[in-house]
Amino acid sequence: MTARSAPSGVTSADHRGRWGDYGGVFVPESLMEALRRLEAARAEAWADPSFHDELDRLNREVIGRPTPLYLASRLTRKVGGARIWLKREDMAFTGAHKINNTLGQLLLTVRMGKTRVLAETGAGMHGVATAAAAAYFGIPCRVYMGAEDTRRQSHNVARMKMLGADVRPVTNGTQTLKDAINEALRDWVSTVESTHYVIGSVVGPHPYPQMVGDLQSIIGREAKGQMLELAGRLPEAVVACVGGGSNAIGIFRGFLDDPEVEIYGVEAAGTGQEGSPHSAAIGLGRPGVLHGARSYLLQDNDGQILPAHSVAPGLDYPGVGPEHSMLKDSGRVRYLTATDADAVAAFRTLASSEGILPALESAHAVARGMDLARSLGRDADVLVCLSGRGDKDVDIVAGMLGL
């Protein structure tokens, strides 16, 4: 199956690109026509069986879908509670869920006749996935990345360059993901006729949150079918990490219409010390406008965006997607937090018990997934979205553990 138009109002924005009070289009007039054309092209492609046939082929032959559903039996025994299942997006091509979105957007880029793509990246995985997809289609690619993130994720910077991308470090602001997005938007304003901006998460102006969520929803559809096949039942709980939130929306959409399944998003609490920077935009933020859409944000009393922090660069963002904001207000999804220390401990636990190195982003979900398994007991099932692999984070974890 491929990402098609969302089946119900639960997972579809309205005609204004809003989920309730969130989303919308808050951009300079110079981008309005480009976004209108993008939405028209997206709607036409989503209705075209030939587009889905080609996307099916790319999912199978390039990404390697379906990704496995894995029963972490040794981790389950170590935790001593519910069975813990991992949706192995770390086994997708390029090592994370990001490729689900980038291949779909590059296919749309070709359809629109654009000759260049832009991307932003935090942990580097979206940049790598965009660079790989652009190389596959033979399209030039530029990736903006905060200078602080280029230092933390030098391995992925090298991968992007080897894949042919022009990587531009951003030295403004906090030199992280928010600032990389700002620079990508500036570039897009001046090159919009020839360039498609491949946003990497369910953020930004409409139609990006809808489009990225649709392309990532293959995770949830696969996981639901695999749970029914392998476990014979749906899980009691589904857990995913949330930065911008694309892997989470991807897996959540498979279960939103199943009221017996509890759904949890896990944000980054940073060090967990009172007053210290974190990335818990839903838990500790309030609604505002950033990067073209209204959603929960970290901001001060004057509406100025606050610096975000996480040991996981991909969660180091002061906002969250508008669909998550709606799901929080509706109560359908509960949003928890995990600290840097929680994530590093979960990284080590999963590595030592199953031989799997999770991305530090994913490790936030693993940490809270283990807690849920303990509380639910042995007759239950917990499904965790393992959104990416942790090769990129080995140096960070080794430094924190003194290895």
136: its two tokens: 């596959």
* Cβ neighbours for 32, distance < 8 A, ≥ 6 positions apart: 25
- Write out the CATH class of domain 18-61+98-213: alpha beta
List 246, 295, 362, 387, catalytic entry: 387
Gyration radius of the chain over CA positions: 19
CA distance to 310, 353, 371, 395, per residue, from 349 (Å): 19, 6, 13, 17
List 54, 120, 183, 267, catalytic entry: 120
Domain spans, the chain = 18-61+98-213, 64-95+217-401
Report the C-alpha gap between 18 and 315 in whole angstroms. 23
Q: Read out DSSP for 116-137?
A: EEEEEESSSHHHHHHHHHHHHH
Residue 209 half-sphere exposure, CB side, CA atoms within 13 Å? Answer: 32
CA distance to 88, 92, 216, 360, 397, per residue, from 69 (Å): 6, 12, 16, 20, 26
Q: What is the pTM of this model?
A: 0.94
- Identify the CATH number of the domain defined by range 64-95+217-401: 3.40.50.1100
Spell out the per-residue pLDDT of the chain, length 403, in tens: 333 333 333 478 998 899 999 999 999 998 999 999 999 999 999 999 999 999 999 999 999 999 999 999 999 999 999 999 999 999 999 999 999 999 999 999 999 999 999 999 987 899 999 999 999 999 999 999 999 889 888 989 999 999 999 999 999 888 887 888 889 989 998 999 999 999 999 999 999 999 999 999 999 999 999 999 999 999 999 999 999 999 999 999 999 999 999 999 999 999 998 889 999 999 999 999 999 999 999 999 999 999 999 999 889 899 999 999 999 999 999 999 999 999 999 999 999 999 999 999 999 999 999 999 999 989 999 999 999 999 999 999 999 999 8
Binning the chain into helix, strand and coil, the percentages to the nearest 5 are: 50, 20, 35
Q: Does the annotation count 114 as an active-site position?
A: no
Output the pLDDT for position 2: 36
Q: Residues in the chain, how many?
A: 403
Output the pLDDT for position 7: 34
Q: Strand 237-241: give its sheet, edge to edge.
A: 69-71, 83-88, 381-386, 237-241, 262-268, 333-338
CB 180 within 8 Å of CB 121: yes
> Comparing C-alpha atoms, which of 170, 189, 200, 198 is closest to residue 315?
200
* Angle at 29 (CA atoms; ends 27, 33), nearest 5 degrees: 95
Q: What ranges make up the beta strands (E) of 152-244? A: 166-170, 195-197, 237-241
Report the C-alpha gap between 128 and 157 in whole angstroms. 8
> Comparing C-alpha atoms, which of 115, 108, 100 is closest to residue 44?
108
List 54, 87, 89, 98, catalytic entry: 98
Q: Does the annotation count 246 as an active-site position?
A: no
Q: DSSP label at 299? A: B
Q: Does the annotation count 120 as an active-site position?
A: yes
* Cβ neighbours for 293, distance < 8 A, ≥ 6 positions apart: 22, 23, 24, 25, 26, 203, 204, 205, 206, 209, 321, 322
CA distance to 55, 66, 106, per residue, from 1 (Å): 9, 9, 19
Buried b (16+ CB within 10 A) or exposed e, 128-162: bbbbbbbbbeebebbbbbbbbbbebbeebbebbee
CB 93 within 8 Å of CB 63: yes
Domains 18-61+98-213 and 64-95+217-401 share a fold: yes
36: its two tokens: 């209108």
